[in-house]
Amino acid sequence: MRQTRYQSIADDLRRRLETGELGASRLLPSESELSAAYAASRVTVRRALELLREEGLVDSRQGFGWFVATDPLRQTLGRLGTIERQLADEGVVSTRRVLDFRFVPAPPRARQVLGTDAVLRVRRLNLADGEPFALVTVWCPEELGAELSRADVERSPFYELLDVPLGGATQTIGAAVASAAEAELLHVKVGSPLLRCERVTRSLDGEPVLLSEHLFPAHLTVFEVDLPHVEASIAPTGLRLVE
């Protein structure tokens, strides 16, 4: 039986996905780009992509377009720990690339949380099996970070480096969109949805010792919370409206 145009396009896309020619950053070219490349209408290209989606090879999401279908990285919110340790438990190889390491005047949010005028700021890119999945900025009071080096923070998480017993942390998760610089680092399109997590980590005596911001591509990450007790409301604990 003679193949239709969309089936032949799907076959070629499937081959290019299998060889790694497409989807190196998990994102596929846009429908308009594929339409131009195959000299076909966007309707035909979309039918080809939908055929691959039925096979579980690709998926799409508003704001991202089409991307290689993978299981999202799952992070548990019920305990204080590092992203790397959670990924290691799932058999994922995680690495970190330090983009910036310097002592700077504390920005307003860090001054408010940490109560200091000078901080060590570390900006890094976290990778899972070689692919970027988080852009992280950490602010640490200057006196706590004075003995740390760039090599230290590239090798180990702050939790293992600070000479302070750690207590708990408060995490706030919301939505953001990728700037041009963030999109380039995270291999997503400008304006793509991101999950933004702010974490304030405290010492055993309750003093804030770290402020961090984590930006995750929304199609690659999910946060899980165990709710062991049934309450009258099914809203997640801590849910609040932003004014």
pLDDT at position 33 over 80: yes
Across 58-80, average pLDDT: 67
pLDDT at 84 over 80: no
Q: What percentage of the chain exceeds 90 in pLDDT?
A: 35
- Residue 239 included in any domain: no
Residue 161 has pLDDT above 80, yes or no: yes
180-202 average pLDDT score? 89
Domain membership flag for residue 243: no
Q: What is the CA radius of gyration of the chain?
A: 21
Residue 51 and residue 150 share a domain: no
pLDDT at position 232, please? Answer: 53
pLDDT band at 230 (very low <50, low <70, confident <90, very high): low
At 241, the amino acid letter reads L
Mean local confidence (pLDDT), 60-82 = 65
Residue 229 maps to a domain: no
CATH of residue 56's domain is 1.10.10.10
Domain check: are 33 and 136 in the same one? no
What pLDDT score was predicted for residue 136? 94
Q: Which residue has the higher pLDDT, 119 or 158?
A: 119
| 77 in the same domain as 42 | no
pLDDT at residue 66, as a whole number? 81
Q: How many CB atoms lie within 10 A of CB 45?
A: 26
Residue 242 included in any domain? no
Angle at 184 between CA 221 and CA 219, to 5 degrees: 20
- For residue 163, give the CATH number of its domain: 3.40.1410.10
* Residue 64 shares a structural domain with residue 119: no
**237 part of a folded domain:** no
As for how many domains the chain has, the answer is: 2
- Domain shared by 25 and 41, yes or no: yes
Q: Are residues 81 and 36 in the same domain?
A: no
Find, among 165, 221, 210, 175, the residue nearest to 195 by Cα.
175
Query: Per-residue pLDDT for 190 more than 90?
Result: no
Could you tell me if 95 and 170 lie in one domain?
A: yes
Q: Are residues 16 and 81 in the same domain?
A: no
Q: 144, 154, 80, 82: which is closest to 123 by C-alpha? A: 154
State the pTM of this model.
0.68
Distance from C-alpha of 235 to C-alpha of 188, rounded to nearest angstrom? 31
Tell me the mean pLDDT in the region 14-30: 77
Say whether both 14 and 122 belong to one domain.
no
Which pLDDT value is given to residue 20?
Answer: 76
HEC readout, the chain: CCCCHHHHHHHHHHHHHHHCCCCCCCECCCHHHHHHHHCCCHHHHHHHHHHHHHCCCEEEECCCEEEECCCCEEEECCCCCCHHHHHHHCCCCEEEEEEEEEEEECCHHHHHHHCCCEEEEEEEEEEECCEEEEEEEEEEEHHHHCCCCHHHHHHCCHHHHCCCCEEEEEEEEEEEECCHHHHHHHCCCCCCEEEEEEEEEEECCCCEEEEEEEEEECCCEEEECCCCCCCCCCCCCCCCCCC
Task: Give the pLDDT score at 175.
Answer: 87
- Paired tokens of 36: 């131009």
- Cα(215)–Cα(176) distance, rounded to whole angstroms? 8
Please tell me the predicted confidence (pLDDT) of residue 210: 95
- Same domain for 117 and 22, yes or no, is no
Instruction: Please say which residue of 23, 48, 68 terminates a domain.
Output: 68
**pLDDT confidence of residue 135:** 95
pLDDT at 218 over 70: yes
Domain extent at residue 154: 73-224
Asked, for residue 121, whether it belongs to a domain, the answer is: yes
Cα gap 195→132, rounded to integer Å: 14
- Per-residue pLDDT, 201: 93
Is residue 113 domain-shared with residue 15, that is, in the same domain? no
